[in-house]
């Protein structure tokens, strides 16, 4: 099964992508992973991408599309794949259609206010990476109970920054959602519930159970 995973930052894509990849025995492929792998392997496209990355510039579509095409031709994708972070635009989706079949597009949804509340109260441990939901932080809150490390809040999780990230995502992604909806392969899944409930809904939509 070839799956594309969509969803705003903080909706839980990474968590569900890892579980889906394990359940179906297919690779979870993110844009960042593909770029790093291509640069590490020194492919011609990887070397081109490296020049942009090192200069802090966005990697052009044609290079990203070429790297995706190279990645999907590897043996571990023969039984399917899970794409996360690609495509981001309709032109990218149209290009993907020329060299790979997409069976299902899972669009993870959550109300704007719920997502804002979830992410802007997220604090992370600087040592072990554990995540905590803290509404009114004080000194006693800012220590990780797992390892004793200090907790911090990412700059892009702060309300003003995160709200802007969400708006940009919605503007950029809506045409892509419409594109896949017209093709009849888009499945909307609510993550305004437990992680287990969301995962169960995804599995059901893909025609299987959680086990």
**Spacing of C-alpha 196 from chain mean position:** 18
- Identify whether the C-beta of residue 202 lies closer than 8 Å to the C-beta of residue 23: no
The single residue listed with the structure tokens 């992973």 is 33
Could you give the CA distance from residue 57 to residue 70 in angstroms, rounded to a whole number? 22
Active-site positions read 13, 88, 122, 154, 165
103-142: b (≥16 Cβ within 10 Å) or e: ebbbbbbbeeeebbebbbbbbbbeeeeeebeeeeeeeeeb
């Amino acid at each position: 099964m070839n799956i594309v995973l969509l969803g705003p930052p903080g909706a839980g894509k990474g968590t569900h992508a890892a579980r889906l990849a394990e359940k179906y025995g297919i690779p979870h492929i993110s844009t960042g992973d593909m770029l790093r792998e291509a640069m590490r392997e020194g492919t011609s496209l990887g070397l081109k991408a490296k020049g942009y990355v090192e200069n802090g510039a966005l990697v052009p579509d044609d290079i990203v599309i070429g790297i995706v095409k190279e990645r999907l031709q590897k043996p571990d994708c023969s039984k399917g794949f899970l794409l996360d972070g690609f495509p981001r635009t309709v032109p990218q989706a149209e290009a993907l259609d020329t060299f790979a079949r997409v069976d299902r597009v899972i669009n993870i949804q959550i109300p704007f206010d719920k997502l804002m509340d979830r992410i802007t109260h997220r604090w992370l441990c600087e040592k072990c990476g554990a995540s905590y939901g803290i509404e009114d932080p004080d000194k006693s809150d800012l220590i990780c109970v797992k390892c004793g490390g200090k907790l911090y809040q990412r700059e892009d999780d702060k309300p003003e920054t995160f709200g802007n990230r969400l708006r940009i995502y919605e503007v950029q992604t809506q045409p892509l959602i419409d594109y896949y909806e017209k093709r009849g392969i888009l499945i909307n899944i609510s993550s305004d519930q437990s992680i287990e409930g969301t995962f169960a809904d995804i599995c059901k939509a893909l025609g299987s159970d959680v086990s």
